[in-house]
Structure 1
């Protein structure tokens, strides 16, 4: 009889470090057969390119949340498909805007359609230590992610002081007083959680998710075929970032290809060796389609060359 696949759900708001964390977990599980379902709101999957490696089974589900009715059927189908593959672990990295409150209901549906093939090991929530307290006040999804998880990892602790870290822990315990908490810098932690029973405190019952087709955020894809100066692209991003939840992608700059990552006020560039077919950014808007005109105006004023925005 086939051994059950160990299933982990990975949550955390945009920019909390989920993909970096997952990359480190994959290194720790070197030699194991791994499956990954990656969920992004944009039409273009960016993170899949970052973690892709030989021997890994990867499915990308874009253009919505896997917990929303707009993608829930696709998620169940992907889970059923993964169950037929020769893997030992399956990690589901949900979108940063995903509310996993109905995960219990989805897992029950998978068991009904496919059988008891998964061993659910729990939900792990990444917390952005720098921006968490502000996010918690503004975004309901952040609280929902904490409420329905079994391990919290407070990330970016190298960028905050002890008082802030303690305040974050207190807030987390107010929302979920049973959850285990670890701290991390650069997504690195003690990976002993892979051998622990994260569900020993039990699972909270399913609720209706707040993710609906009606409240899905506006996501735009910017593509460009030329080369720009880093200082010009940085100036462009600085001008539009206040109206976005997240900007990420790959761009050809004068020093070569760069991975671009924008979270709140922080704009980060990282050189990559792999050539891309075109420069592209996924932009998740806080203000809906109203961001379109400012993007075009700012781009024309700073860059001045033709780009496409879809």
Structure 2
């Protein structure tokens, strides 16, 4: 009798918008540089921004954009991507050694184990670690109003309290206590820049969580985009975004600058800007905001579109 093929290890990374999931994946790529991994990036917005800043070979990167992989509108596409990964590995002389999934920041991952069982993908992929990334600047403020944030901690085996260099010891302790209150069994690690020192492909104990597939539209979030091609005054834009920090969940994307492009990443914890000589998609800004602040975000979008921040 032919021995069954070993299952492909699979780890899931969750965390709210701007917590540092893609930064963590950069650390994963460095740590496992000698292993054949595939990265599946899930973007809530239609534009694939995070996948474009992850420094890995394009043939190891798979994206699902325009909604959560655990919502009714995207789950079929998600399963199709996993099937393609398996088929590619099955015919290769160098099979895939692991899959890392970055779920969108609004995802409720409690349904994932159930999803693998229902589709029989649990016979192909071995769900290992479910790892949540937390930003102390937003976690305590938002978890009581956005249920997906709590669900991410309930589903996790481990959590990284990220960006600890930006917050006081008291804030870190408060975050740790809140995490323990939600999931007493969770393993908590404090870090900066998504660094970690454990194996993300260590099989975790079965949790048997039960979740629900999300609807196609989440009333807790408003999303808009803006494509832009003229060079912008990045410092003026940074200042404007800083003034809006408390009214947004995240504004991110690529915009033309004096030389090359700038990657913009604005969250309630701060505004980060990184220069890039070139990009692989058209310049675009993605706005994800609370619905009640849609008019504020729309006003900024209009101002950018009419050239208020042009050089």
TM-score by length of 2: 0.88
Contact 2:137 2:269 in 1 (8 A): no
The count of residues paired between Structure 1 and Structure 2 equals: 299
Q: Which of 179, 182, 187 in structure 1 is aligned with 2:189?
A: 182
Report the equivalent of 2:150: 143
1:168-207 aligned at under 5 Å gives the runs 168-190=175-197, 192-194=198-200, 196-197=202-203, 199-200=204-205, 202-207=206-211
Deviation at 1:213, TM superposition (A): 1.7
Separation in structure 2 between the aligned mates of residue 28 and residue 183 of structure 1, nearest angstrom: 18
Which residue of structure 1 aligns with residue 116 of structure 2?
107
Name the structure 2 match of 1:156. Answer: 163
Cα separation, partners in 2 of 1:55 and 1:260, compared to 1, 3 Å: closer
TM-score by length of 1: 0.88
* Secondary structure class of the residue paired with 1:14: coil
1:285 and 2:285 are equivalent in the alignment: no
Check if 1:227 corresponds to 2:240.
no
CA distance in 1, matches of 2:269, 2:31: 31
- What secondary structure, in the 3-state scheme, does the structure 1 residue paired with 2:45 have? coil
SS at match of 1:258: strand
Shift of 1:296: 4.4
Distance, in Å, in 1 between the alignment partners of 2:64 and 2:238 is: 29
Q: Which runs of 4+ in 1 moved over 6 A?
A: none
Q: Distance in 2 between matches of 1:233 and 1:76?
A: 39
Q: Counterpart of 1:294? A: 299
2:308 to 275, 298, 303: 303
Alignment match, 2:50: 47
- Give, in angstroms, the shift of residue 83 of structure 1: 1.3
Aligned to 1:8: 11
Equivalence for 1:257: 261
Relative distance call for 1:265 and 1:122 in structure 2 (3 A) is: closer
Answer yes or no: is 1:117 the counterpart of 2:110.
no
Residue 213 of structure 1 is matched in structure 2 by 216
Question: What residue number does 2:141 align with?
Answer: 134
C-alpha spacing 1:299/1:163, structure 2 compared with 1 (3 Å): same
Q: Relative to structure 1, is the Cα distance of residues 103 and 277 closer, same or farther in structure 2, using a 3 angstrom cutoff?
A: closer
- Give the whole-Å Cα distance in 1 for the aligned partners of 2:54 and 2:281: 18
- Structure 2 CA distance for partners of 1:54 and 1:213, relative to 1, 3 Å: closer
CA distance, structure 2, for counterparts of residue 149 and residue 132 of structure 1: 15
**Alpha carbon RMSD of aligned pairs, Å?**
2.3
Distance in 1 of aligned mates of 2:279 and 2:185: 46
Structure 1: tracts of 5 or more residues without a match: 306-310
The residue number in structure 2 matching 1:66 is 69
SS at structure 1 position matched to 2:27 = helix
8 Å contact 1:262–1:268 — kept in the other structure? yes
Q: For residues 143 and 116 of structure 2, what CA distance do their matches in structure 1 show?
A: 27
Please state whether the residue corresponding to 1:130 is helix, strand or coil.
helix
Residue 275 (structure 2) pairs with residue 271 (structure 1) = yes
* 8 Å CA contact 1:236, 1:302 repeated in 2: no
Q: Which residue of 2 aligns with 1:95?
A: 104
Say whether the 8 Å CA contact 2:229–2:283 is kept in structure 1: yes
What SS class does the counterpart of residue 194 from structure 1 fall into?
A: coil
